[in-house]
């Protein structure tokens, strides 16, 4: 299956799959903000979803380009489980937007992990985004390998921007 995803579908199709992950959730994004999602009749931070996954034993990796803003940090502080169990790395060169779910499904697209990119913002307040959601093994493996190469620091050797890397991977 290869699905083209646009605009609000990022929220309804991609983020909804995150809650159902059983083993691994890898997220790579350039920008990271205080993204909120629906939970029944209430709205909760996406960080709450990540916290629940971690409590269930899911391994969660979050790779992003810069430190998030104050609102994100305030939400982050509400979930002490994230402090010790969330695997998080920064790389200022990350511009891709990739999610790999249980090594079986991948989102590859333009949407950052923000309200305007993937969140609940209304049609007139969100970015114009596009991407693909797939379970095709060749695409899933390629996306996972690309994200993992940065995560593992294999791209650091030839990087010409190490002076801007506040949290060096290697």
Mean pLDDT is highest, among 25-39, 94-108, 125-139, for: 94-108
The predicted model gives 124-146 an average pLDDT of 92
Determine how β-strand 130-134 pairs with β-strand 97-101.
unpaired
Strand partners, 59: 24
Rounded Cα distance between 149 and 124, Å, is 36
Contacting residues for 10 by C-beta, under 8 A, at least 6 apart: 107, 109, 111, 117, 118, 129, 131
Does position 133 have pLDDT exceeding 60, yes or no? Answer: yes
Of the pLDDT bands very low, low, confident and very high (cuts 50, 70, 90), residue 169 is: low
- pLDDT value of position 63: 94
pTM above 0.85, yes or no: yes
3-class secondary-structure state, position 48: helix
Of the pLDDT bands very low, low, confident and very high (cuts 50, 70, 90), residue 168 is: low
Strand partners, 130: 6
Mean pLDDT is highest, among 7-11, 124-128, 140-144, for: 140-144
Does position 56 have pLDDT exceeding 80, yes or no? Answer: yes
């Amino acid at each position: 299956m290869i699905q083209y995803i646009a605009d609000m579908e990022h929220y309804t199709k991609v983020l909804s799959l995150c809650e159902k992950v059983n083993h691994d959730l890898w997220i790579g994004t350039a920008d990271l903000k205080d993204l909120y999602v629906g939970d029944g009749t209430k709205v909760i931070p996406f960080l709450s979803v990540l916290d629940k996954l971690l409590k269930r034993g899911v391994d969660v990796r979050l790779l992003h380009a810069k430190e998030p803003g104050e609102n994100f940090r305030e939400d982050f502080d509400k979930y002490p489980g994230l402090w010790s169990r969330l695997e998080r790395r920064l790389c200022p060169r990350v511009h891709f937007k990739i999610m790999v779910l249980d090594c079986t499904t991948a989102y590859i697209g333009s949407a950052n992990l923000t309200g305007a990119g993937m969140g609940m913002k209304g049609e007139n307040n969100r970015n114009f985004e596009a991407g693909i959601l797939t379970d095709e093994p060749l695409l899933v493996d390629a996306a996972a390998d690309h994200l993992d190469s940065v995560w593992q620091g294999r791209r650091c050797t030839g990087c010409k921007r190490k002076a801007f890397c506040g949290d060096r991977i290697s």
